[in-house]
Structure 1
Amino acid sequence: MGCCQSQNSDSKANRAARWRSTGIVALRDAKLKTFPDEVFELERSVRTLDLTRNKLVEIPMEISKLINMQRLVLAENLIQRLPINLGKLQSLKVMTLDGNRISSLPDECKTSFGQLVRLERLSISENILTSLPETIGSLRNLLLLNVSKNKLKSLPESIGSCFSLEELQANDNIVEDLPASVCNLIHLKSLCLDNNHISQIPPNLLKDCKALQNISLHNNPITMDQFQQMEGFQDFEARRKKKFDKQIDSNVMIGSKGLDEGVDLR
């Protein structure tokens, strides 16, 4: 028994030493129900934490000790809520929380979600979010936001303050309309809103979002005629075709709807 305990201790010590050396803690498919305590003991050493496909129900408050962490990947767990001190992880650039049971994001004043000011990629699809906090507008470096497959009825007006945003995915929700502020997203290239309840989009969207190359609105009430009559449609169509031509020139494989990308609204 003593020998087995010694080997187990050595194994844990070796694992912790490896984590400290590389800065990468990867425990996918490890059947974890709680975070390993030794992870928090590493504190500033952790750069990436990947606990995908486990059975985690919550994220402990001790997560705030990992102040140098840049990538947090907790997809496909059973997480129901995020700790209110998550905003202290101000080095975080990538956060992936797809496939959990999260119903809301922290919005408290001093420790809000909006304090993750270096965040560049946020993916929280396949959860049960009913709204996004207004503080999300503080994420000025955000390039990708994926909130598909939730229960969102709307997007906050503050989304227009995510000035760096290039890709917004909000497929498979119950969104009825978009805030006018999305027209402020001058770097937006792709807007995906399939399977919602959208009957119209802000009239200046195509005119103001001059980087936009793809809009996907399949299975929404909005009609093709409405879309084509919007100011800026011709310029948008030219950008879309240019992107498609580049894909052909590069021999990139595309799906059967490639020619209709961003245009077929049925």
Structure 2
Amino acid sequence: MDTLAELRAGRLAGATRLDLACGLTEFPREIFDLADSLETLNLSGNALDALPDDLGRLHRLRVLFCSDNRFTSLPESIGQCHGLDIVGFKANRIRSVPAAALPPSLRWLILTDNQVEELPDALGHCTQMQKLMLAGNRLRRLPDSMAACRQLELLRLSANHFEALPDWLLSLPRLSWLAAAGNPFDTQAEDAAITAQSVPHVAWQDLTLGKKLGEGASGVIHQATLGPSQQEVAVKLFKGAVTSDGWPHSEMAACIAAGAHPTLIAAQSRIDGHPDGTEGLVMALVPPSFRTLAGPPSLASCTRDVYADDAQWTSDVALRIAHDIASAMQHLHARGILHGDLYAHNILWNAQGGGRLGDFGAGWMTGSLDARQAAALQRLEMRAFGCLLEELLERCSGAPPVAMSALKDRCLHPDVSSRPSFAEALSVLQQEAAR
């Protein structure tokens, strides 16, 4: 983290990135001394409510983060920065998004956890947009102009006020990762899943927490033992606040509704009686020999996962992972559940055990939608699977399976209705494995 003193002393000359989190209430004018080099500006975690009218002087700026501040309107001066492609204003108090604040160059816009009620038609002019994060606002509709955003791949609409989804959204040719839980059209299905006795309840006092296994936006996962038998399990304790994917309540509903499946990391039990009222789930403990398939997307990759430089596997292992994930997804779709985040970074694997799909943070249910919309939404997730197949095939050490390559092309078809179902994909992969 850089310091304001270093900036004012001129010791950051030539910097391409600047991170300042020091209780700022005003934009430091000394930042303009970096105008000929600065590409990434991170002012998150301050007390700012305005940016200067001449922000466009930062003519090389590509990335701007101002999350966890006090903005009530997205500053119009952002629109002067014609090279900006990533803008993040998560967890402010933003109600207004002026058209002038949206440079057409935008590729990734984050407005999660604000108070936005309406978006301008100018959003449809951002035709390079790939990633749009709008969870935790007060939106009831999207501007119809967004039908022109044909590069859009990831969209988060969870925890808003949508009564329905627009039809044009379901035909965008590249949309692959869509989350819309916690809206009025979805809450009835969520409530039914939460109250259903589809999983048993476990008393908090019967659990003994061990080491922390991981932490995400929605909660913390611990290794634990259960009951007198000391059965080894995993426990997820939810944080309760809105995340980039939506409400933890929605994640818990989708996880409970998913039920049991051999290649799915789903809920076994729901936890009762936590002393702080924290909600939680008990899940199977995946053996430590399993590891995450890839890391999440970076600023540069935007919507695509980042693999280790040495990531490689045989064609048989790639086929096994693809089969296992297709099987898990077919199970979810048959239950009317959308995963919403079908990514390699949500998959655990090992060469002998295949793949396991987890993380229901973006999961949601289609029970209140008509059959046509539900089918279209399932075909959107097929493109996410096509991206996964592409990544698996690129890292095969031998000749990639021919049928798997052809399936990848079908999953990535720009015509949503031309993509296969997961039942079809599973059949293709089973036939390939039997050869």
Normalising by structure 1, we get a TM-score of 0.71
Is 1:105–2:91 an aligned residue pair?
A: no
1:134 paired residue among 82, 98, 121: 121
Which of these two proteins has the greater Rg computed from alpha carbons?
2
User: Match of 1:26?
Assistant: 19
Runs (5+) with no aligned partner, structure 2: 187-337, 341-361, 396-435
Question: How far apart are the structure 2 equivalents of 1:134 and 1:45?
Answer: 33
Query: Which is strand-richer, 1 or 2?
Result: 2
What whole-Å deviation, never above 9, does each CA across 1:76-107 have from its counterpart, x for those lacking one?
01111233232111110111100001111112
Is 1:195–2:188 an aligned residue pair?
A: no
Change (3 A) 1:74 1:231: closer
For the aligned residues, what is the CA RMSD?
3.3
Change (3 A) 1:166 1:237: closer
Where in structure 2 are the equivalents of 1:223-262 lying within 5 Å?
223=369, 226-227=370-371
Letter in 1 for 2:148: S
Identity of aligned residues (%): 25
What whole-Å deviation, never above 9, does each CA across 1:98-130 have from its counterpart, x for those lacking one?
0001111112xxxx234x122111111111100
Q: 1:184: Cα distance to partner?
A: 4.3
Change (3 A) 1:60 1:99: same
What whole-Å deviation, never above 9, does each CA across 1:239-260 have from its counterpart, x for those lacking one?
6777899999x9xxxxxxxxxx
Question: How far apart are the structure 1 equivalents of 2:148 and 2:52?
Answer: 30
Change (3 A) 1:220 1:61: farther
Question: How far apart are the structure 2 equivalents of 1:221 and 1:104?
Answer: 33
2:144 paired residue among 134, 140, 157: 157
Letter in 1 for 2:33: E
Question: How far apart are the structure 1 equivalents of 2:176 and 2:381?
Answer: 13
Where in structure 2 are the equivalents of 1:1-266 lying within 5 Å?
11-14=6-9, 16-18=10-12, 20-28=13-21, 30-107=22-99, 112-114=100-102, 116-198=103-185, 215=340, 218=364, 222-223=368-369, 226-227=370-371
- Aligned residues of 1:59 and 1:82 also touching (Cα < 8 A): no
Normalising by structure 2, we get a TM-score of 0.45
Q: Which has the higher contact order (CA 8 A, sep 6+)?
A: 2
Question: How far apart are the structure 1 equivalents of 2:40 and 2:381?
Answer: 40
Q: 1:214: Cα distance to partner?
A: 5.1
Tell me how many residue pairs correspond in the alignment: 220
Change (3 A) 1:128 1:120: same
3-state SS of paired residue (2:96): coil
- Aligned residues of 2:56 and 2:80 also touching (Cα < 8 A): yes
Change (3 A) 1:234 1:36: closer
Question: How far apart are the structure 1 equivalents of 2:379 and 2:7?
Answer: 59
Letter in 2 for 1:164: Q
